Homo-oligomer: A and B are copies of this chain.
Amino acid sequence: MNKRAIAQVPATLGPIFACLLSLASPALAQKPNIVLMLPDNLGYGDVGFLGTGGELRGMPTPRIDQLARESLRFTQFLTEPGCTPSRAALQTGRYPIRSGLSLVLVKGAANTLKANEITMAEMLKPLGYTTAYVGKWHLGFAQESQPQYQGYDEWRIGFLGSTDVTSYPREMSKYHAPDAIIQNAIHHIVEADAPNTPAREVRVYDIAYRRQIEKDIADYSVDYIKRHANGRDPFFLMVAWTRPHYPNVTHPDFKGKSRIGQYGDSVMELDYRTGQVLDAIRESGIEDNTIVLFLSDNGPQRTTIFREDLIAGSSGQFRGELFDPYEGGIRTVGMIKWPGKIKPRTTNAMISLLDIFPTLAGFVGGKVPHDRPFDGIDQSDFFLGKTDKAPRESLITFIRDRIAAVRWRQWRLYPRTVLASTDVLNTTGVQGIVAENSGYPAAYNIEWDPREEWNLLIENSWVLGPYMKVIQSYRKTLKDHPNPPAPNFTDF
């Protein structure tokens, strides 16, 4: 049953037929389009609708906030603590350690997304979806890893690494790096027009193009939506934004727009570009049949004094940032909109980036892999309001070859106490806090103590029970499906 079939029904019967269709199984109805926007390093405390960012921080985010009002808003959207692991979790629905992607990849790293991994796009293809990926990928440098070999029909304005690279020549020059080294550090924007065809280099991804890229991603996305709005097949468009990842030079239109400098300008450009995509969906008349997801990939990058442009990402009331296993490293911005199907509301249920794949599968009748461990949970009934109880109770956070943290309900557990990368809090052992590098486990109650300042494990050692259960259940899956070697490019 497709659009053409519907068009053959006499006009007067159209509404009745449409009504019958909506009662039929989802597999028979016209499948919804899916637009998934993935900002890069946007923090919980960067946007207005979650209470701690936007206007309060001198960088209003009206378009994101408006989308939030029309969406199911997640106040516990949990990701992985870095770009590569999060993107692996999103694409595969599996803990990134299972695909060897539990650390951010840099050029030269051996680990890469393997051909036999099944992505979201590969789940959607057999259902008749047209698919496209725009922007940053960052799931490995091998050809087999690239979007057009992983279920996406095309890849536009793409790049394989991180936006960091655009600052490399400038940074390297400061230290008088030889030309050969600088040349080797240059990365390119690449594109592929069709599945299973090698990508071609389009231009250098340098600081000049850094200013332009978000506009190009938005323009391409708008064009794609308009071209496919009246197509026979539903489409799945992944818009992998590059903002507000360092460096944050913006399009000239946004220079000085915010009250807090470059970082704020960049967030405001992201907000505007998001609005362009939303406008295209509305103007194409497909808003009612399009699922829109807006999901950040991980916690924000906070200020460092080593940058010329002071980075000002915020994790709001939470402790930690990008790369930290603390809550602020993984709790970030997330929402889903589906007019008439998903009631706009706020939920404080635990939603993981891992759950997006199986939830979309649940919506459209897709299949999740059963021949391997799969960690995502189908939240579709919960999102649609068919059940009040969200299914997720726990989440493991891996970094490199280790379990860095475990969430179980409102408890955060650290198998060994850790020292956050840039957060000096609590290292003094004052006020009854066990020194964080003591080697003992630690447990924080994230509701009672959102900044994880009070290790309550000694008084609450009972939490080790449910925690061990979560770990054991994960460990059991390793027997038949051991993890590949974890990334180790920093171990020499």
Q: Which positions in A face B, CB cutoff 8 Å?
A: 45, 50-52, 55-58, 75-76, 259-261, 263-264, 303-305, 310, 312, 314, 316-317, 346, 348, 410, 422, 424-426, 428, 430-432, 445, 447-450, 453-454
Cross-chain contact B316 with A449 (CB below 8 angstroms): no
Cross-chain contact B316 with A448 (CB below 8 angstroms): no
Q: Would you give the shortest CB distance from A411 to chain B, in whole angstroms? A: 11
Q: Would you give the shortest CB distance from A460 to chain B, in whole angstroms? A: 11
Q: Inside 8 A of A52's CB, which chain B residues have their CB? A: 51-52, 316-317, 450
Q: Inside 8 A of A430's CB, which chain B residues have their CB? A: 424
Q: Give the interface centre of A55, A424, A431 by most chain B CB atoms within 10 Å.
A: A424
CB within 8 Å for A75 and B56 given contacts A50-B51, A305-B432 = yes
CB within 8 Å for A450 and B57 given contacts A52-B52, A317-B316, A425-B424 = yes
- Picked from B264, B316, B410, B426, the residue with its CB within 8 Å of the CB of A259 is B410
Q: Would you give the shortest CB distance from A462 to chain B, in whole angstroms? A: 15
Cross-chain contact A261 with B348 (CB below 8 angstroms): no
Cross-chain contact A260 with B450 (CB below 8 angstroms): no
Instruction: Give complex CA distance A410, B348 in Å.
Output: 31
Pairs across A and B, CB under 8 Å, 29 listed: A45-B317, A52-B52, A52-B317, A52-B450, A55-B75, A55-B348, A56-B75, A56-B447, A56-B450, A57-B447, A57-B450, A58-B410, A58-B447, A58-B448, A259-B410, A260-B445, A260-B447, A263-B448, A264-B448, A303-B449, A305-B431, A310-B448, A312-B448, A312-B449, A314-B450, A316-B316, A424-B428, A424-B431, A425-B425
Q: Would you give the shortest CB distance from A279 to chain B, in whole angstroms? A: 24
Q: Which 5 A-B pairs have the closest CB atoms?
A: A51-B51, A58-B447, A260-B448, A52-B317, A305-B432
Instruction: Give complex CA distance A317, B300 in Å.
Output: 14
Instruction: Give complex CA distance A150, B214 in Å.
Output: 61
Main secondary structure of the interface of A (DSSP, over half): loop
Instruction: Give complex CA distance A422, B433 in Å.
Output: 13
Cross-chain contact A56 with B314 (CB below 8 angstroms): no
Q: Give the interface centre of A52, A55, A261, A316 by most chain B CB atoms within 10 Å.
A: A52
Closest Cβ neighbor of A445 among chain B residues: B260
Q: Inside 8 A of A450's CB, which chain B residues have their CB? A: 45, 52, 56-57, 314
Closest Cβ neighbor of A456 among chain B residues: B310
Closest Cβ neighbor of A430 among chain B residues: B424
Instruction: Give complex CA distance A194, B57 in Å.
Output: 48
Cross-chain contact B448 with A261 (CB below 8 angstroms): yes
Q: Inside 8 A of A305's CB, which chain B residues have their CB? A: 431-432
Q: Would you give the shortest CB distance from A257 to chain B, in whole angstroms? A: 14
Cross-chain contact A57 with B448 (CB below 8 angstroms): yes
Q: Would you give the shortest CB distance from A432 to chain B, in whole angstroms? A: 5
Q: Would you give the shortest CB distance from A364 to chain B, in whole angstroms? A: 30
Instruction: Give complex CA distance A176, B462 in Å.
Output: 34
Closest Cβ neighbor of A427 among chain B residues: B428
Closest Cβ neighbor of A423 among chain B residues: B425
Q: Would you give the shortest CB distance from A427 to chain B, in whole angstroms? A: 8
Closest Cβ neighbor of A451 among chain B residues: B314
Instruction: Give complex CA distance A312, B456 in Å.
Output: 13
Q: Inside 8 A of A348's CB, which chain B residues have their CB? A: 55-56
Q: Inside 8 A of A310's CB, which chain B residues have their CB? A: 448
Instruction: Give complex CA distance A264, B450 in Å.
Output: 14
